Structure 1
Amino acid sequence: MGEMNTAAISANELVLIMSLVALLGIIGGWIGEKIKLPDVVIYLFFGVLFGPTFLNLVNINAFPVANEIILTFGSAFILYEGGREVKLKVLNEVKVSVGLLASIGVLISAIIVAIASYYALNLGVGASLLLGATIASTDPAALIPIFKKIPIKKKLKQTVISESAFNDAFGAILFTSILTGMTMSQKVGMFKTSLELIFMIVIGILVGIGIALIAVGLTSDKKYGIFHEYLPIVSTIIVVFAYEISERCGGSGYMAVFIAGLVAGNKKKFGLWVPDEDYAAGLCFREHLSTIARMSIFIVLGTHLDVNSLMKYGLPSIIVVLALMFIARPLVVLICTSFDRRANWSKNDKLFMMWVRETGVIPAALSGIIVSTKVPGYEVISSAVFMTIIITLVVQASTTKLVAKKLNVLEDM
């Protein structure tokens, strides 16, 4: 009986903590809207303020399973939503740029950040590469809301959104490979690691396509679309099944959910559609769930932050962030767009892409995983990720509209 009472108390405490997270998220979103600051910055601040460091009202560390669900499912669902935002028609016009930015670009960024981290933060090679992989990708969860308010030219907008969605998946795979290599007792050769990376990508793509086509078919307006009334719930099922099946088959769960979102968001290309009423219900549900995921991930990340480590490593972390913003990103854009003659990028287009590279949800979730696994240097990595998110969101996200106007990359109204 005592054990049952203990379990009930723990369950009630978890429910209370999750409700507090939701409440803080609502207040943070309202404050962000009023002061014109990205809401995720407020979420991070609230996580630090109300977490174990100060008020200790939100301590998700006492519930490791819930912590893992928030980080894993939350990031997976946001990747799924990122995939849905990518339109194949526009993507086909800029596929070379997007493909290079999301793959080679992530690798270049990770290497440059790793070099900066090695010297500025005195991290080991493995930890430096892990930090590089964590913050090398951009953030669709931060970019998409911004672009909904700012009328950026369609081709440029879709390129940046597509890159952010694709490179999140590639960055997550790169992160997983490095983390696995660091935590395995037996060292794995580069050739074997490369083959495993390719295998993870291929399995993730196949599983994502398969799960999405089945789910979209069953919720479509076809005769076999018997579950179209349950479209909002099916959206959640797609993410869970795509991630879990891919992971259990040795593939990348993150790649699977992204590809599933890509297929679901372009269902018309596969001759499938859903009734308007069901589509509206599904869209509303996904937007709310995506908002909850963003709130939870950033607040949880804030609760994980070690303020002492941030004070200790904050200044050298800024050096790493500057290397990412002003060395890695410009170099990545110059290299990756130079091979795409068809896109015909202008100088201003490239300058805009260099500036718009916010770091957000996926790096935040990956940082949480690093803290949970306690890999060597995790305090330093967590501080550097936190600093990267804050600086890129405050400096870059808040100036996107101004930069777009200056560079004349807004749609003609």
Structure 2
Amino acid sequence: MIISGENFLLIASILLFVSILAGKTGYRFGVPALLLFLVVGMLFGSEGLGLQFSSFKQAQFVGMAALSVILFSGGMDTKASDIKPIAVEGVVLSTLGVLLTALITGGFICGMAKLLPGHLSLSFAGCMLLAAVMSSTDSASVFSILRSKNLYLTQNMRPLLELESGSNDPMAYMLTIMLIQVVLSSSVSMDVILWTLVIQFVLGIVFGYLLGRLSVFIMNVINLDYSALYAILLLAFVFFIFSFTDLLGGNGYLAVYIAGLVVGNNKMIYKKSVITFFDGLTWLFQIIMFLILGLLVNPSELLKVWAPAIGISVFMIVAARPISVFLCLWPFKKMTRKGKCFISWVGLRGAVPIIFATYPFVAGVPHSREIFNIVFFITIISLVVQGTTVPYSARLLGLISEPEHTKDFAVEMPEDIAVTAEFKADEAFLGEHKTVGDMDLTDGVMVMMIKRGGKFFIPNVNTALENGDKLLLIGSKEEDLQDFCTKAGIEKYAIYNS
């Protein structure tokens, strides 16, 4: 049957509808939405409702484009001030941690291949390749689960986990590519491998930073006639940064993540609308990527690899990941043992390992279909076992903290025009400030809105203040708001830059 363009759009829309509804249902029961996207793809696939898709090369291309957007968006949503205290730990986990995970897991797989020759038919190099494909945590899964659950974690663990997952793909990618070369050729020099690895990282960081700065500069000076085009322009930059860096021998995945950090931590025109655009685009790409990967697999083939897949998965969860995390974080005494245990548990596998598993297939590596099926099976186990228990494990280890301030006013101000502050009026404050007029507001500061009993209203100078009122202040400068709060004796307040 030849699918027309109209039928393709019909099928695609149905897949999106079902995925969104499945994600909504899964959220209520604590099931990661990304896992359900995979399941929807499998249900609609060749062994389900009969939708045929078997192109590993096309899946690889879609995954490459999707990961570029996901990593860039993740970097753009990360504050430099959050990752600065844990930058060294994150870099160590994303490089040495990935290498240790690959080596430890590879050794275990080699032992399993000898013990279960009928279930696992990989050579030594093939076992190490399988381990390398699974060695990195998945940025899409980590970003999605941590942010959808809105967890407030102690010890700066959330930015650490996001930094690790956003920057460890390059190491896993390089290990995968190099081990594919080892499997297909016996004349690969270790010097060449190490030099290529260094070049990948250096160029990825350099081009990511420079092109990220260039993106911000052009966005601010180009003066487009339609504001909606700014988001499209930045999307073009994302794909250019990835492909240009890759063309010159650098790692494109690392480059787009660094560029996202640069863009997100600099002032840029229409920044809020651009971030909103990329948030929606990220979800769309995640759905498409997981659906396609679900369509690509044949569930009956997964049953053939259940024994090695379960064995490897359990070993990675209880041994390989914890060992690599504890060794990497051993010099950093500020991280507690419970913190290291939680980081070990959030070693989520997801779309990234599955996409990397398409590379051996496209390259013609022997037993590549077996590698792909094992990785897919392990990903499902990881999302079911680890993904569904992230909030529970954080609570069990006593690592969840309540935020000092929760934002009560969803007010967006134009860029570079105003700063807002929120605080709660208590008895001490009301002792000297009975009305808004009594607040003696300094120049450049005004009360914009009050929240009382779940309702919002705009006050005037005669508005009487009550205990528990939440006030939204607006000022032209952050310093003006800080000076007023200090003068008024307000100890707990939160300032939000537009």
Structure 1 runs of 4+ aligned residues shifted over 3 Å read 9-21, 64-69, 180-183, 368-374
Q: Separation in 2 of the partners of 1:43 and 1:186?
A: 39
Gaps of 5+ in 1: 1-5, 268-272
Q: Separation in 2 of the partners of 1:113 and 1:288?
A: 36
Q: Separation in 1 of the partners of 2:12 and 2:57?
A: 13
Q: Which residue of 2 aligns with 1:72?
A: 64
- Contact 1:76–1:254 under 8 Å retained in 2: yes
Q: Which residue of 1 aligns with 2:340?
A: 350
Q: Which residue of 2 aligns with 1:193?
A: 193
The equivalent position to 1:60 in structure 2, one of 53, 57, 65, is 53
The 1:289/1:377 distance shift into structure 2, 3 A limit, reads: same
The equivalent position to 1:97 in structure 2, one of 89, 96, 118, is 89
| Bigger helix share | 1
Report the 3-state secondary structure (helix = DSSP H, G, I; strand = E; otherwise coil) of the residue aligned with 2:386: helix
The offset of 1:145, in angstroms, is: 2.9
Higher mean C-alpha deviation, range 321-330 or range 148-157: 148-157
Deviations 1:85-113 (A, max 9, x none): 44332322222211211101000111122
- What are the within-5 Å matches in structure 2 for residues 245-260 of structure 1? 245-260=244-259
Report the 3-state secondary structure (helix = DSSP H, G, I; strand = E; otherwise coil) of the residue aligned with 1:394: helix
The offset of 1:118, in angstroms, is: 2.3
- Contact 1:318–1:388 under 8 Å retained in 2: yes
- What are the within-5 Å matches in structure 2 for residues 10-21 of structure 1? 11-12=5-6, 14-21=8-15
The offset of 1:358, in angstroms, is: 1.0
The equivalent position to 2:22 in structure 1, one of 12, 24, 28, is 28
Report the 3-state secondary structure (helix = DSSP H, G, I; strand = E; otherwise coil) of the residue aligned with 1:317: helix
Q: Which residue of 2 aligns with 1:270?
A: none
Does 1:110 pair with 2:109?
Answer: no
Does 1:389 pair with 2:379?
Answer: yes
- Contact 1:80–1:239 under 8 Å retained in 2: yes
TM-score using structure 1 length: 0.87
- Contact 2:155–2:339 under 8 Å retained in 1: no
Higher mean C-alpha deviation, range 169-178 or range 313-322: 169-178
Q: Which residue of 2 aligns with 1:46?
A: 40
| Bigger strand share | 2
Report the 3-state secondary structure (helix = DSSP H, G, I; strand = E; otherwise coil) of the residue aligned with 1:94: helix
Q: Which residue of 2 aligns with 1:378?
A: 368
- Contact 1:297–1:365 under 8 Å retained in 2: no
Does 1:340 pair with 2:332?
Answer: yes
Deviations 1:345-391 (A, max 9, x none): 11211111111111112112222344444421222211221122111
TM-score using structure 2 length: 0.73
Q: Which residue of 2 aligns with 1:138?
A: 137
Q: Separation in 2 of the partners of 1:60 and 1:319?
A: 29
Q: Which residue of 2 aligns with 1:226?
A: 223
Higher-RCO chain (CA-CA 8 Å, sequence separation at least 6): 1
Q: Separation in 1 of the partners of 2:181 and 2:10?
A: 34
Q: Which amino acid aligns with 1:100?
A: V
- Contact 1:152–1:411 under 8 Å retained in 2: yes
Q: Separation in 2 of the partners of 1:40 and 1:308?
A: 21
Report the 3-state secondary structure (helix = DSSP H, G, I; strand = E; otherwise coil) of the residue aligned with 2:204: helix
The offset of 1:225, in angstroms, is: 4.8
The equivalent position to 1:274 in structure 2, one of 261, 265, 268, is 268
Q: Which residue of 2 aligns with 1:209?
A: 209
The root-mean-square deviation of aligned C-alpha atoms, in Å, is 2.3
The offset of 1:286, in angstroms, is: 0.8
Q: Which amino acid aligns with 2:42?
A: V
Number of matched residues? 391
The offset of 1:37, in angstroms, is: 0.7
Q: Which residue of 2 aligns with 1:398?
A: 388
- Contact 1:96–1:339 under 8 Å retained in 2: no
Larger Rg: 2
Q: Which residue of 2 aligns with 1:360?
A: 350
Q: Work out the percentage of aligned pairs sharing the same amino acid.
A: 26
- Contact 1:199–1:251 under 8 Å retained in 2: yes
